[in-house]
Chains A and B, each alone.
Chain A
Amino acid sequence: MILSARGLQVRYGAITAVRGVDIDVAEGEIVALLGANGAGKSTIARAIAGLLPFQGEIVYKDQKLRPNDAERNVRRGIVLVPEGRGILGRMTVEENLAMGIYTRADKSQAIADLKRMQERFPILGQRRHNAASLLSGGEQQLLATARALLSKPRLLLLDEPSLGLAPQATAYLFGVIAETRAEGLSVLLVEQKARQTLKVADRAYLLETGRVVTSGPAQKLIEDPAVSDAFLGGHG
């Protein structure tokens, strides 16, 4: 396992948002966290990224992670694309991408990757001199994902990447996420669009009010009528 969380608990003051959750992510696996608003999905991703204090244990590559240690976690290879994308609006697209290679030691390779990323996502290449705030929602999400990929993560945490995107942009983005499997990257995907997410994920955890209510292989969950009724809006 690249990541194991045991008894993970996160509180916001008096409110417990995550209650003793166990999660595993294997090397090269896409794991989805699904659930309604307030289920605790984003909180789990933010705790793993090191943005929140937590109780319990998170082990990444045999190393125990400390709470509130985001900068070090990035250097370890854990990269979060937060909800709302976290792009740097006043900077150009190119400058945003350059921030992605900030932690990399292999600078010449990183610069080559920067150019390759603009070829992989041509819209980013075409708009490289534009302020990032001028991009559309879909383009901003693509930029945030590309920036995260440039930092060569071993574990990519994507928090609601399809939020506010048009269906076409969402489909393209999920295609990009599926491609990461071929690159050997592990992905923890936090989403509300359950059916679409289960199609790209290997496994999934379904959450309700801070607890895992069920988990298993994505295909099995799609076919489970109880899961389908509760989380996927019935058969379809």
Chain B
Amino acid sequence: MSTYYASLFAEAGILLLGALSVYIILATGQLSLGNAAFMAIGAYLSSYLTVELGMPITPALIVSAIAAGTIGVIVGFPALRLKGIYLAMATLGFGEMIRSFFINFPAMGGSGGFHGMAHISVGYIWAWAGGILVVLILVERSRVWLEMQAVHDDETAAGLVGLNTVAIKVGAFGIGAAVAAISGGLFAHHHVYIEPANFGFERSIDFVLATILGGSTLGLGSLIGAILLVFLPEFLRPIADWRLAAFGTLLILVLLVRRQGIVDRTLLRGLTFRKAAS
């Protein structure tokens, strides 16, 4: 594989994890626009662990995920009091807060960034991305997912069947944050240089866009969304300066035709049925 395509595949794997981090939180009816902050925590912490403490990348990613997950749980509690657009705004504020923290944190390079990480392969990135996607697809068939869906559909009704809605919502924030942190750790070790600007609002929006575009009711949707978001602008290169405008138009058209995103359960069932029939 050429370096160009390898780099695109690596970006798609990292974006997939970011999109899944949004998807997990969204599955309980909460929209987070601040997942780039958890990605930043994962990127900086894992880089510190590998560069400064000499820890191997895999345990460094796990430690970063646990740390970001804990912060996610802490963020999840005040988030319980907010819904819809207000929650989105609060998470956006959290994202900017973390970015500002790293700008003013000289131990990790401040606005000048941090480097020295060992480069990781596309295969390693996809081992994580694919592994987490497969685990999530399995979880989607479990009782835990049913509980998350119940909270998404009607929180009061979910409480009235005895579900611990607080634990479910806060837990989703924690797991989502952990997945975003892994995405950040992989990003840092793929690019071997990070700076606070890598984890701005646009990054969080990319995560949300990949989830919504691909399909926000299935983990598989995030995969489709991430691949489209990374590869489509590249395939549109022949139209030069107009490519981003064309990409934006395509996005709007897709969302107009399929509000639920490209993939949903009905489409998947239809495809499975057709395959079985043939």
Contact = CB atoms under 8 A, between A and B. Distances in A.
A131 to B, nearest CB: 10
Interface in B122-176: 146-147, 149-150, 152-154, 156-165
Contacts of B162: 71, 74-75, 102-103, 151
B161 A89 contact: no
Contacts of A99: 146, 150, 158, 161, 163
B26 to A, nearest CB: 13
Nearest to A68: B159
Given A71-B165, A151-B162, A82 B146 contact: no
A151 B149 contact: no
B157 A102 contact: no
A39 B161 CA distance: 26
B164 A71 contact: yes
A88 B163 contact: no
Nearest to B165: A71
Contacts of B147: 102
Interface in A47-88: 49, 51, 70-71, 74-75, 79-82, 86-88
Nearest to A88: B153
Contact of B157 (A71, A75, A82, A103): A82
A88 B154 contact: yes
A63 to B, nearest CB: 17
A81 to B, nearest CB: 8
Nearest to A144: B157
Contact of A86 (B146, B160, B164, B165): B160
Interface stretch (A28-36, A90-98, A185-193): A90-98
Interface size class of B (residues with CB under 8 A): 10 to 19
Given A95-B146, A99-B146, A99-B150, A88 B157 contact: yes
Contacts of B159: 51, 70-71, 74
B156 A100 contact: no
A102 B217 CA distance: 23
B156 A91 contact: no
A154 interface: no
Given A88-B154, A91-B149, A95-B146, A102 B160 contact: no
Contact of A82 (B153, B160, B163, B164): B160
B163 A102 contact: yes
A151 B146 contact: no
A79 B160 contact: yes
A89 B157 CA distance: 11
Contacts of A211: none
A203 interface: no
Contact of A80 (B149, B153, B160, B164): B160
14 contacts: A51-B160, A70-B159, A71-B164, A88-B149, A88-B153, A88-B154, A88-B158, A89-B154, A95-B149, A98-B146, A99-B146, A99-B158, A99-B163, A103-B161
Given A88-B158, A95-B149, A103-B161, 12 more contacts: A51-B160, A70-B159, A71-B162, A74-B162, A88-B149, A89-B154, A90-B149, A90-B152, A90-B217, A99-B161, A99-B163, A102-B161
